[in-house]
Structure 1
Amino acid sequence: MSEPTQEDVISTVSSFFDVRGMAVTLEKMEFEISDLDFKQKFVLLAQKMESMGLVCFINESHGRLLIQVNRLPPQRRGFKLIPKSWTPRILFAIVVSFVMVDGYYRTLGVNSIIFIGDPLDFAILYTFSLVGILGVHEAGHIIAARIHKLRTSWPYFIPGIPVFGIPTFGALIQSRSLTINRDILFDVAIAGPIAGLVITIIVSFYGAYTSPILDEQTIAGFSDLRLEKLNDNILMKLALGAYGKGGPNTEVIMSPILFAAWLGFLITFLNLLPAWQLDGGHMARAIFGQRIHQFATYGSVGVLFLLDYQFMAMFILIFSIRNMSARPLDDVSPLSKNRKILYVGIIIVAMLCAPLPDSIWPK
């Protein structure tokens, strides 16, 4: 495919917009346009330019709307030990095996206190639950991206530390297209946590059903019983309450399925923080712009420190210094009103999923 000429670029831009002026340099071409209703037209133009190996931005300067056209940077092609298409498959297989092992030993741990079932059976259910939560989360991103005609990679599942920690650190996808405007940035960001949350809620109710409870007298009979304490969230409390569990003078023994749900709620909460390039960070960037998003990132780091998640707080803080936010090609058009209203619901969801200290719950 031959490289587009200046005449091709001028013709393409002129087919979408009324061009009032033009400036050409060795690095870029810049067009001044007069169209005030440019949002949807620019989406079509950006998609067309990307297919031509070009990228365009729209900026506002002294009351003038300017479209800047540049060449896309060349893709790096380094030596790869395995084909790129195999990387997500191998990672997926590793994560599934890690989750299976983790589920097996978690069931053995619960069985040592009170028998809940065959460890292999629970390991399989645990794997379907946890990998399903992560997979549906990433599927939400992919579906939203496809709706907006964006290309993405398959999910990359990140292995964790089974038995001694958590078996997976989540999953991610890579965008292979450019994010055109704030609406698209918001839609792709919100789709993952909402899709994953639906599955997490379903898993939490089944997990609550499979989790036994011990009363004070039974607990006192174990001289060396050490129960792992994890901060609950409101949605987890509701799931346990549906079965009359989690009341005073009792202790819920978390089954592997309920632990999968707990991880799902934690992942949802972390992703909804208005920080860095998390899903919530992309939403905050789309609504408030770069400067307020930067302050929101630092505020999120403070919240994580208060909730005793120092590792995640430091991770966000360090990486946000290098790359704070994702900038859409059209950073002039504001986010639509309906999406701003929807973000209020996202804040509420984040609060419902937040792991809260035991001290705030009524005794």
Structure 2
Amino acid sequence: MSAEESSDDPPAVGALASAFHAYRVEREGETVRYIGEPLVSPRELGEELAPLFARRGYEITVERRNDRQGAPAPYAIVAEPKSVGVDGIPWGNVIMFVLTVVTTLYAGTWWYHIDLANDPLAIVEAWPFTAAVLGVLATHELGHYVVSRYYSVDASLPYFIPVPPPIGTMGAIIRMRGRIPTRKALFDIGIAGPLAGLVATIVVTVIGLQLDPITVPGSVAQATGEGGGYIRFNDPLLMDLLADLVGQPTDYASDPTKAVNPVVFGGWVGMFVTFLNLIPVGQLDGGHILRAALGNRHETVAAAIPGLLLSLAAGLYFLTDYTHSVVLWVIWGVIAFVMVRAGSATPLDEAPIGPWRWGLAAVTVGLGALCFMPVPVEIVLA
């Protein structure tokens, strides 16, 4: 990196010339305004110039304005120093993470059958469940984050999403701002999360399978054994393969007083999240991979995905008794439709990704297929 690129000063006017013709520059404290006319659309202007300013430690907004001096300059690029919070601490990320730790600990008490009414502090005993679930999700998102930083794409730290049990979280997301430089960069950023998450998922699952099963309280075991209603999380093929490899069961149907160690469920979450993220539409990881691999031709493939998901829902409804899973795939069919309409990321350089990345994509899609469950959650009634 040159001395100019590493400077803390905002970019010179000439550095904006490909997208913005600046008439003058105004300064007000640490805020810098470039007054002029865009050479591309306002949306593309912000996307194209954001990485340039981010490297200097600035965030930008594009404003339409009436020029005070009467010059034909209806736009301004407003650059302000980036702030990650008080004293450099990303408080938003920290607060969301702490809340998610609490909700996953509470969810873990369900799996460990911990009675909080008698001892509220016993919630900390569920820490292995929290470590397993958040460890898998954090590894996935940090895979995206590290590769984004490698390509100088501005990315936030992960935002974890807390929800009630039985999982305690809806996952985590990172926010990326600015344009992706190349299709190769888009591919690498998109695939880094699933691959990193899968490694963590496999490690967590193998560890969980080798831990002792938990003892189910007598009242719960009796209700299950007598045909009482309960929720069953079905295993994907990857879980079965790992269980066979380790030589440990994932189902204790013959002994209702035992249940698989909750750490294994962290692996289940990782597998489910991996499959959903690899659905090849829009801003999902699979959408990034597909866009990078096929270029503009990706739209033909992506357009078929909502129909496939809705067809899966219809098949479950008309051909099986698993009608409760229909809602899940209808929801994801609608989500996929919205994402197809919204479109995917558009890299600046459309050069092909090359054969070895195609091979990596095939391996990742294959592993993702092993995580597929047509009926992830089954409601077993008396």
TM-score, length-normalised on structure 1? 0.69
Equivalent of 1:155, from 145, 155, 158? 158
Q: 1:46 to 1:96 in 2, by over 3 A?
A: closer
Cα deviation for residue 291 of structure 1 reads 4.0
Report if aligned partners of 1:276, 1:297 keep a CA contact under 8 Å in 2: no
Q: Deviations over 1:195-236 (max 9, x none)?
A: 11111111112322344699xxx9898324444222321111
Hey, what does 1:36 align to over in structure 2?
Answer: none
Deviation at 1:167, TM superposition (A): 1.1
Q: Within 2, Cα distance between the matches of 1:72 and 1:236?
A: 54
Asked whether the 8 Å contact 1:274–1:293 carries over to 2, the reply is no
Q: Quote how far apart the aligned CAs of 1:344 are.
A: 1.0
Structure-2-length-normalised TM-score: 0.66
Equivalent residue number for residue 288 of structure 1: 294
Q: Judge conservation of contact 1:213–1:245 (CA < 8 Å) in 2.
A: no
In structure 2, list runs of 5 or more residues that go unmatched: 1-8, 19-35, 41-48, 61-74, 116-120, 314-324, 377-382
Post-superposition offset of 1:130: 0.5
Q: Is the 8 A contact 1:290 1:325 kept in 2?
A: no
Identity across aligned pairs (percent)? 28
One-letter amino acid matched to 1:355? M
Q: Counterparts of 2:141 and 2:268 in 1: how far apart (Å)?
A: 18
Aligned to 2:143: 140
- Distance (Å, rounded) in 2 between the aligned partners of 1:103 and 1:155: 22
The letter for the 2-side match of 1:131 is L
| Deviation at residue 149 of structure 1 after TM alignment | 2.5
* Mapped partners of 2:50, 2:356: distance in 1: 24
Indicate how the Cα distance of structure 1 residues 135 and 54 shifts in structure 2: closer, same or farther if over 3 A, else same: closer
Give the aligned partner of residue 128 of structure 2. 125
Structure 2 letter corresponding to 1:350? G
Counterpart for residue 361 of structure 1: none
What is the correspondence of 1:148-187 to structure 2 with a 5 Å cutoff? Answer: 148-163=151-166, 166-187=167-188
Q: How far off its partner does 1:5 sit?
A: 3.9
| Aligned residue number for residue 70 of structure 2 | none
Q: Which amino acid aligns with 2:174?
A: I
2:179, 2:346 within 8 Å by CA — same for their partners in 1? no
Displacement after TM superposition at 1:340 (Å): 1.4
1:162 is paired with a residue whose SS is coil
Distance 1:271 1:4, change over 3 A: same
Q: In structure 2, do the counterparts of structure 1 residues 225 and 212 end up closer, same or farther at CA, with 3 Å as the change threshold?
A: farther
Aligned partner letter, 1:130: V
Q: SS of 1:355's equivalent?
A: coil
Does structure 1 conserve the Cα–Cα contact (< 8 Å) formed by 2:191 and 2:285?
A: yes
User: Are residues 131 and 75 of structure 1, via their aligned partners in 2, closer, same or farther at CA, if it must alter by over 3 Å?
Assistant: farther
Query: What's the CA shift for 1:185?
Result: 0.4
1:313 aligns to 2:336 (yes or no): no
Q: Which residue pairs with 2:6 in the alignment? A: none
Match of 2:113 in 1: 108
Structure 2: distance between partners of 1:302 and 1:72: 45
Structure 1 residues 28 and 256 mapped into 2: Cα distance closer, same or farther (>3 Å)? same
CA contact (8 A) 1:122 1:256 kept: no
1:234 aligns with 2:237: yes
Q: Does the Cα contact within 8 Å between 2:112 and 2:214 map onto a contact in 1?
A: no
Contact between 2:251 and 2:260, CA under 8 Å: does it hold in 1?
no
Give unmatched runs, 5+ long, in structure 1. Answer: 11-24, 30-44, 56-70, 111-117, 359-363
- 1:349 paired with 2:367, answer yes
Q: SS at 2:233's partner residue?
A: coil
Matched, 1:258 2:264: yes
Residue 27 of structure 1: aligned partner: 38
For 2:179 and 2:235, the matched residues in 1 are separated by 38
Structure 1 residues 167, 185: closer, same or farther in 2, change over 3 A? Answer: same
Q: 1:338 to 1:277 in 2, by over 3 A?
A: same
- CA change 1:264–1:6 in 2 (3 A) is closer
The one of 221, 243, 251 aligned to 2:247: 243
What is the total number of aligned residue pairs between the two structures? 298
Q: Is contact 1:126-1:257 (8 Å) kept?
A: yes
- The separation in 2 between residues aligned to 1:160 and 1:335, in whole angstroms, is 38
Q: From 96, 111, 114, give the equivalent of 1:91.
A: 96
CA gap 1:301/1:92 in 2 versus in 1, 3 angstroms:
farther
User: Compared with structure 1, are the counterparts of its residues 304 and 129 closer, same or farther at alpha carbon in structure 2 (3 Å cutoff)?
Assistant: farther
